[in-house]
Amino acid sequence: MSASISAPAEVVTHVHLESPDARRARLSTGWLIVAAGVGLLVASFSAGVTATFTLSDAFDTVQLPSVALPAGPVVLLTALLCLAAGGGLVSGRLSRGWRRAAGVIAGLSVVVGFLSWAASSSTLPFPVSNQLAGTVALATPLMLGSLAGVVGERAGVVNVAIEGQFLNAAFTAAVVGSLTRSIPAALIGAVLAAALTGLLLGLFAIKYLVDQVVLGVVINLLASGLTGFLFDQLVQPNSTALNASPIMTAIPLGPLASIPLVGPILFDQTILVYLAVISVAVVWFLLYKTRWGLRVRAVGEHPRAADTVGISVTAVRWQAVLVGSIFAGLGGAFFTVGSTGTFVKDITVGNGFIALAALIMGRWHPVYAALMGLFFGFVTQMASQLQTLSTPVPSQFLLLLPYVATIIAVAGLIGRTRAPAADGTPYIK
């Protein structure tokens, strides 16, 4: 009797419950990693002799030595690590902690293995410092844009109009910067332009109940037409006065900027980069540590319940859209005063959509969305650098890397994301 009682207890302790969605995600991730491992295994046979990585650029005060890796063994090692990690995930016998470790190991292995294979095919070294610096620069507007989306969508307003906000902000920053010769004035102008665009989004989405995804697309068209028209009509004929804005300069943060490799990348950037990093923390704090943030998330998840306890759903949504517009304005300014100082038509080239992708992949969370922006910046910069190295891969294919990586990530790794429950749903009392 006592023996039969204890046996079921022991069996219960070994039962491992896993939802169908989680199992599907684990299997697809595992098989993807196995496929990457197989790819690296094949690549290890065609790798060159040595892969050289430089850790300093020509202007760094402290010149770190280059790192030369034997390409074949390194690619082979990373291939085996990927196969082990992928196999572990597919088997389902890894604990939660080990699963995350497997994911990290696989990610690092893919990057190191691929770069080693690519660099070994070129006589030029792969510049790690440029890779990291470019990643930060490219990620800045994506981080800011995705934050704009996070705030709005947490409150239930889909923001496909990030692209339009970027465009209006970039245009306004260039013109205001040219007229005033002042970077702060240009940034303020950019934020106001994005806020006006946000006002339009809010008016039609919150008050007139227009479908929010289509509204975003239309606002993007309006921004493209408006900036294009004003550019053709006013700015281009008078470009010296209206389209020659001063450009942001890097602001080193004291001795921190002198740290080899990491210093110039993190602590010798423009104010916009620092603002982007600070903004991530600010949005996180606003959403998760303030009463206002609780209300924003409440109206995004269950507006009727929020209304019942006395929260004005429309007021909170308006506030969220306008607060988000601040970050979209800063992100848009990057394309003019943050880089070239001049506006050309459709200068944002779809980065608003990439920011939207980053926010969705980041599960509508400010930190994860920012990390996704960095991921996209990293892959984009890597494609650009490899193009310079003249690797065997056609340069046009390299330019597709960020987009293919994003589809693989969203289909295999992220899987089904859950938006705020009332995202995109207008609230009618």
Partner 1 sequence: MTTHTRAAGRGALVEYASRHWRDWAVTTAAFVLALVIGAILMIAADPQVSANFAYLFTAPQLALGSAWAKVSGAYGALAVGALGSPQALALTSSKAAPLICAGLGVGLAFRAGLFNIGAQGQAVWGAVTAAWIGFTFELPYGLHLLVAVVGGVAAGAVWGGIVGWLKAKTGAHEVIVTIMMNYIASGMLAFLLTTTAFRRPGREDPISPEVHATAALPSIFGQFHLGFVLAIAAAAAVWWLLERSTTGFSIRAVGANPHAASTAGMSVATTTAITMTLAGALAGLAGIQFALGPSANGAPVPLTLGLVGTVGFDAITVALLGRSRPVGIVFAGLLFGGLDAGGLAMQSVAQTPLTLTMVLQAVVVLFVAAPALVATVLPFLKGRRLKPSATLTGGQA
Q: Which stretch binds partner 1 (CB under 8 A): 176-184, 246-254, 309-317, 412-420?
A: 412-420
As a residue count, the chain comes to 429
160 binds partner 1 (CB under 8 A): yes
Least distance to partner 1, CB of residue 215, Å: 7
How many residues touch partner 1 under the rule CB under 8 A: the total is 56
Least distance to partner 1, CB of residue 420, Å: 11
208 binds partner 1 (CB under 8 A): yes
How many CA atoms does the CB half-sphere of 210 hold within 13 Å?
Answer: 16
- Of 337, 292, 330, 361, nearest in space to 198 by CA: 330
CA distances from 417 to 21, 276, 288 (A): 11, 25, 20
- Name the DSSP letter for residue 362: T
Q: Which stretch binds partner 1 (CB under 8 A): 61-69, 246-254, 311-319, 394-402?
A: 394-402
Least distance to partner 1, CB of residue 34, Å: 17
Token couple for 412? 């295999």
Q: Which stretch binds partner 1 (CB under 8 A): 3-11, 36-44, 132-140, 401-409?
A: 401-409
- For residues 242 and 330, which CB has a smaller minimum distance to partner 1 in the complex? 242
Helix axes 162-180, 351-361, angle to 10 degrees: 130
Helix (H) / strand (E) element for 268: namely strand 268-269
158 binds partner 1 (CB under 8 A): yes
As to burial, measured by CB atoms within 10 angstroms (0-12 exposed, 13-18 middle, 19+ buried), residue 125 is: middle
Maximum distance among all Cα pairs of the chain, rounded to whole angstroms:
96
Rounded to a whole number, what is the distance in angstroms from the first to the last CA of the chain?
Answer: 63
Binding mask 27-66 for partner 1 (x = CB under 8 A): -x--------------------------------------
- For residues 269 and 325, which CB has a smaller minimum distance to partner 1 in the complex? 325
Q: Site residues (CB under 8 A) for partner 1?
A: 24, 28, 158, 160, 204, 208-215, 217-219, 221-222, 224-226, 228-234, 345, 350, 353-354, 356-357, 360-361, 394, 396-397, 399-400, 403-404, 406-407, 410-412, 414-417, 423-426
